[in-house]
Amino acid sequence: MTSERLEFFDAAAVLFDLDGVITPTAEVHMRAWSRLFTGLLAERGAQPYADSDYFEHLDGRPRYEGVQSLLASRGIDVPWGEPADPDDADTVCGIGNRKNAVFTALLEAEGIAAYPGSLAVLDRLAMLGIPAAVVSSSKNAVPVLAAAHLADRFPVVVDGVVAEAEGMPGKPRPDIFLAGAARLQVDPANAVVVEDAVSGVRAGAAGGFGLVVGVDRGVGSAALREAGAHVVVGDLADLLTTEKGASL
């Protein structure tokens, strides 16, 4: 980080993505998507599902948009449908709901624990009195935070449920990050966005946030930097080893 750039622990607030940043729910999501699309694509005789599909079409996107993007990559066109569609409906919403049922079953069976490095950073922010928010495209953010015993850490949660209710477009548009900053009553220029997805990094950069931190959980440092990350770390604990962090 340069002297002109906002320092992480000098921020007025920090806005975290959830999956892959605070909790390893990205791994659960990846397994749920793989389980869903492996069968669905095989039934349609389409190109098989690959791990790269998660990063290219699903990671960081609202669920239904992700479904549509992946299906389009295979030349499959199904009706959009309605969010209330049953999970056996052959619609974008039905397929998305089917994935959510798989995800919920995995979460209930396995539980979830936060990354130790992320907990350490949250502890440091709390000690400094810097507020934190969760800004996630997922509609499962609240139950995931509850399962990880983190609900009391975040006074503000802007997730897929809030975005849908208020008509906000998802990442890579910056709207939900800007909504999080507004709820915390901070200027984006004085706040930090922490993201592991290319779409989320693009959203933070587009929102004019003072610092965008990319967390490389598999998408690659180069891709995160190209999307607009000022800094890329392999784990949030790395932020505590910077000169600024060590002096606090």
Positions marked catalytic: 17, 19
Q: What is the pairing mode between strands 231-233 and 211-215?
A: parallel
Separation CA 112–CA 130 (nearest Å): 25
Q: Is 36 exposed, middle or buried (0-12, 13-18, 19+ CB in 10 A)?
A: buried
Report residue 140 as tokens: 């499962």
Length of the chain: 248
* CB-count exposure of residue 243 (10 Å: 0-12, 13-18, 19+): exposed
Integer Cα distance of 132 and 22 in angstroms: 12
Cβ burial of 31 (10 Å; 0-12, 13-18, 19+) is middle
For residue 128, the Cα-to-chain-centroid distance in whole angstroms is 25
